[in-house]
Structure 1
Amino acid sequence: MLHVDPEALHMPDASRLVTPSSSHPPRILLLCGSLRKVSYSRMLTQEAARLLQYFGAETRIYDPAGLPLPDDTTPDHPKVQELRELSIWSEGQVWTSPERHGAMTGVMKSQIDWIPLATGSIRPTQGRTLAVMQVSGGSQSFNAVNQMRVLGRWMRMITIPNQSSVAKAYNEFDPDGRMRPSAYYDRVVDVMEELLKFTLLTRDVTGYLTDRYSERKETAAELEKRVNLTSAV
């Protein structure tokens, strides 16, 4: 049996899909899961940023150096605030991690853990597009990207279908840190192009795409409660 409160449902309004189109360049935040001086995941992140800029996006790369462990300090720490403000600024994100012990790194996970699902009425990740990439020291694996996909869904992000996993990364970059031509490089181009397409398609309607019946119902109940309290005074 279908249990739906008609008054709280508020059927989806397709007219909300017709909105003024943003004219500024797509804003993409890139997170890297390594602190090493010679970091192939950072090189891959920088390569992705160059591609995104070539496609017309505005990019910012967050430096995780100095970011404390989650719960080791308060959210007003400068590095935490910087990360959260960049996430709010972004319309899409790229997460790139090395694979370590068959998983993403703690550096990558700490950055994601410091970003809340909501801060008051502000949602730093919900509705934003996401691309995930990883580098491996050995044969190709997809453990890190699969984990980040789970986190992307948990953070209510639009995780694009394509992804990149670069095996034996030490062979894929030249001494200047640029990615050598290869099938791996072609895949990175594909992923960044797809991320930009999804961002352009969704950034003006994320409020509509992420609007949920359960949340509307909770909001209506809270509003009714406040009205009742005001009437009783």
Structure 2
Amino acid sequence: MSLRTLPDPDHLPALDRRHLRLDGLGPDIPGHPPRILVLYGSLRERSYSRLAAEEAARLLRLFGAEVRIFDPSQLPLTDSPGFQDHPAVRELFELSLWSEGQVWCSPERHGQLTAVMKLQVDLLPLSHGALRPTQGRTLAVMQVSGGSQSFNAVNTMRLIGRWLRMLTIPNQSSVARAWQEFDEEGRMRPSPYYERIVDVMEELVRYTLLNRAAQPRLVQRYSERAEAERAAQAQALASA
């Protein structure tokens, strides 16, 4: 399994609960908990993108979501021999199918998202037979930077999300000088950066619930219906 265990899942030391307005979130969500997949973009032992993603995951749990964090350390390179049959690639595909929403959190390196982050999204096909593992999912994008605040990585992830037919929420998070924002235990200190992550995760859960109510009408496409009919006709002729 390529899932990370979330440490201290219910411990939120930077959160001031007096300002929470769950109204319809948390245990009051109708139906099953929103299913959120979290991806991060660094394999460093002290990875700030992973630490920020874990903070996001704790908040998602608080807001009533079921969260799974994917560990990308075992992924093969795209187009390497047999990569599509690699267990980690198959697991990532299944997790994306399982998800109703996703969080992508990448460091910014040389003005862009990292190779680790890009590898994960490159391994998610737009379609696989009748299965579309990203289409119609909600998406929240986050980045961490070692220096001044930037938005290059989140802007690129928004572009990728559009190509993968995902619904990227309006809000986003960019944590500058991330090495200053986490304590020795890897927990984020109270700050406007942390508050923005709270905003983004709350918004993601709400948009995911709205999107769930609109499915499947929201992602039905004329071209896909026409293609399916042509394929069915061709199969009928071949079997006649």
Q: Which moved more, 1:207-216 or 1:121-130?
A: 207-216
**1:69 corresponds to 2:70:** no
AA matched with 1:122: L
How far 1:223 sits from its partner (Å)? 2.7
Report the counterpart of residue 15 of structure 1 in structure 2: none
Q: C-alpha deviations, 1:65-106, integer Å up to 9, x for none?
A: 111111113211011111111111111000000000000000
Report the counterpart of residue 23 of structure 2 in structure 1: none
The 5 Å alignment of 1:4-153 reads 23-74=31-82, 75-153=84-162
What SS does structure 2 have at the residue aligned with 1:133? strand
Q: C-alpha deviations, 1:184-226, integer Å up to 9, x for none?
A: 1111000000000010111243321111111212222233333
If the length of structure 2 is used for normalisation, what is the TM-score? 0.84
Which structure 1 residue ranges, 4+ long, deviate > 4 Å from structure 2? none
AA matched with 2:36: I
If the length of structure 1 is used for normalisation, what is the TM-score? 0.87
Find the aligned partners of 2:198 and 2:30 in 1 and give their Cα distance. Answer: 24
The one of 202, 221, 234 equivalent to 1:225 is: 234
Find the aligned partners of 1:114 and 1:39 in 2 and give their Cα distance. Answer: 22
Find the aligned partners of 1:22 and 1:91 in 2 and give their Cα distance. Answer: 15
What SS does structure 1 have at the residue aligned with 2:73? coil
| Runs of at least 5 residues in structure 2 that lack an aligned partner in the other structure | 1-28
AA matched with 1:91: E
Q: Which moved more, 1:215-224 or 1:148-157?
A: 215-224
Q: Is the 8 A contact 1:128 1:206 kept in 2?
A: no
Find the aligned partners of 1:189 and 1:84 in 2 and give their Cα distance. Answer: 27
AA matched with 1:216: R
Structure with the greater alpha carbon radius of gyration: 1
Q: Is the 8 A contact 1:22 1:204 kept in 2?
A: no
How far 1:50 sits from its partner (Å)? 0.3
Find the aligned partners of 1:223 and 1:64 in 2 and give their Cα distance. Answer: 38
How far 1:140 sits from its partner (Å)? 0.4
Find the aligned partners of 2:221 and 2:167 in 1 and give their Cα distance. Answer: 15
- The size of the alignment, in residue pairs, is 211
AA matched with 1:87: S
Report the counterpart of residue 218 of structure 2 in structure 1: 209
Report the counterpart of residue 165 of structure 1 in structure 2: 174
Q: C-alpha deviations, 1:116-163, integer Å up to 9, x for none?
A: 111111111110100000000000000000000000000000100100
Q: C-alpha deviations, 1:16-73, integer Å up to 9, x for none?
A: xxxxx96111110000000000111110000000000011111010000111111113
AA matched with 1:180: R
Find the aligned partners of 2:209 and 2:40 in 1 and give their Cα distance. Answer: 23
AA matched with 2:136: G
Kindly report the root-mean-square deviation, in angstroms, between the aligned alpha carbons of the 2 structures. Answer: 1.4
Find the aligned partners of 1:171 and 1:188 in 2 and give their Cα distance. Answer: 16
Find the aligned partners of 2:69 and 2:63 in 1 and give their Cα distance. Answer: 16
How far 1:174 sits from its partner (Å)? 1.1
| Runs of at least 5 residues in structure 1 that lack an aligned partner in the other structure | 1-20
Find the aligned partners of 2:38 and 2:45 in 1 and give their Cα distance. Answer: 18
What SS does structure 1 have at the residue aligned with 2:127? coil
What SS does structure 2 have at the residue aligned with 1:60? strand
How far 1:227 sits from its partner (Å)? 3.8
